[in-house]
Amino acid sequence: MMGKEIKRIYYIARKDLKAYYLKPPLISWGLMLPIVFILAFYFRNPAGIEEVTPGLVGLTILFSATSMAAIVITFEKRTEALERLLLAPVSLGTILLGKTLGSALFGLLMGFVSMILVVLFFGLKISHPVSLVLALILSSVAFALMGILVSVGVREIFEAMTMSNVFRFPMVFLCGVFFPVTAMPLILQVIGFCLPLTYSVDALRQSLLSSGGLLPRYLDLLILAGFT
């Protein structure tokens, strides 16, 4: 019974990846943005590239995983195709896990590819590969779930985009992407520590550079797992 459900989770995710995610425009757009940003930062300050990479990779995962989850579910709600899943002999948990897995895999792929490109191009050394992979995976799942949460409350695709941005844009500033969380006023620090991206970026930074951590990197990973 368990095996049957896991298979179905996989089929649901595979269908989503095939139908929506792994389309050339989505992949190129998903990758284009972080690469352009990383290059822009590089040209401005070649020495500082190590500083911005973790944040930008974190953002890549955040934007790809949440928008995919939120948009795909809302889209299928509109076309009533989501009802096909509800009609099938599949439990609600299986459906949600399948959808999460699909978006998380997409986020993971985007984060992974942009990370690899940076590492190859700028010759960064990865100090903790295991926790780096763990950080990538956990971030993808946490952000995919965030997207799913958004999709529950909305009806239209534009609402899904707007709602996701309500969450995402503050995270760009509050989570240590471009400057450390500790450089902010206390009240904003408190908010920053409530957001999953903070831990994601912190874990990525330490795994990549083995420096400048807010928290021990395993604690970061644990908290990320807590968010999922």
Q: Between 15 and 44, name the residue whose CB sits nearer to another protein.
A: 15
Q: Would you list the DSSP string of 84-150?
A: HHHHSS--HHHHHHHHHHHHHHHHHHHHHHHHHHHHHHHTPPPS-HHHHHHHHHHHHHHHHHHHHHH
Of 2-10, 103-111, 188-196, 214-222, the segment contacting another protein by CB under 8 A is: 2-10
Least Å distance, CB 87 to another protein, is: 5
Residue (50 or 159) nearer to another protein, CB: 159
Nearer to another protein, 7 or 44 (CB): 7
C-alpha neighbours within 13 Å on the C-beta side of residue 65: 31
What angle is formed at CA 170 by the lines to CA 168 and CA 175, rounded to 5 degrees? 95
Least distance from C-beta 33 to another protein, angstroms? Answer: 23
Site map (CB under 8 A) of another protein, residues 70-99, x = contact: --------xxxx-xxxxxxxxx--------
Q: Which of 169, 181, 182 is nearest to 67 (CA)?
A: 169
Using the minimum distance from each CB to another protein, give the nearer residue, 83 or 212.
83
Query: Which string of DSSP letters, residue by residue, matches 28-82?
Result: HHHHHHHHHHHHHHHHH-GGGHHHHHHHHHHHHHHHHHHHHHHHHHHHHHHTTTH
What are the residues whose beta carbons fall under 8 Å from the beta carbon of 59, sequence distance 6 or more?
34, 172, 177, 197
CA distance to 26, 135, 196, 197, per residue, from 225 (Å): 27, 9, 10, 12
Q: Which is nearer to another protein, 72 or 132 (CB)?
A: 72
Report the length, in residues, of the chain. Answer: 228
* Closer residue to another protein in complex, CB, 13/62: 13
CB of 4 to another protein, least distance (A): 6
- Footprint of another protein on 6-25 (CB under 8 A): 7-8, 11-12, 15, 18-20
- Shortest reach from residue 112's CB to another protein, in Å: 24
Q: Minimum distance between the CB of residue 95 and another protein, rounded to whole angstroms? A: 10
- Residues that contact another protein, how many (by CB under 8 A): 22
Nearer to another protein, 89 or 185 (CB): 89
Give the shortest CB-12-to-another protein separation in angstroms.
8
Binding site for another protein (CB under 8 A): 4, 7-8, 11-12, 15, 18-20, 78-81, 83-91
